[in-house]
Amino acid sequence: MKGFNNLKVLKQGMQLVTAAHQLSDAYARTDMAGLVKEINLLAIGIPSSIAHYSGTENQKGLGDALEAVVSINAKLETIGSDAAEVANFRQLIEQEHALIQLALAKGEGRSFKKPAKQSRLGLSAKNRKPITFTSTQGFQAELF
């Protein structure tokens, strides 16, 4: 977890998964069960995509999570219920959307620099002739 831009996004995503599971429990026996199941699967994908991509690919994971949040918003509009579970879930989705956009905005200004020094292992890439090592002492050959 060391390489994540913003761990609040991941934590909020996990709260979103919990709320989606509670939402699916509330609508299990209604005609909206299929739609709520799709929302639940999309919610699971948010922290999963953030955790999957780390380091330099963190922007891709945040982009995938943002796409999932937008599609969840579209599916929530078709439910149109004012129940407490749906209102709580909508609030969490809005918070997650804002956190992801903030993390994406912070990551855009970063540029990675190459190291100033090169390692000795990189010398062979500069078309230099490798130095061969020869040993003339017989007892060293017997030890190995």
Ordered by start, the domain boundaries in the chain are: 7-108
Express each pLDDT in 62-88 by its tens digit. Answer: 888 889 999 988 888 887 777 788 888
Structure tokens at 22: 């509670």
Which residues in the chain show pLDDT less than 70? Answer: 1-6, 54-56, 107-144
Domain 7-108: which topology? Answer: de novo design (two linked rop proteins) (1.20.1440)
* Three-state secondary structure call for residue 109: coil
Digit-coded pLDDT (tens) for 35-45:
888 888 888 88
Structure token digits, residue 74? 């579209």
Q: Report the distance separating Cα 59 and Cα 67, nearest Å.
A: 12
Give pLDDT, residue 133: 63
C-alpha gyration radius of the chain: 26
Specify the pLDDT at position 4: 47
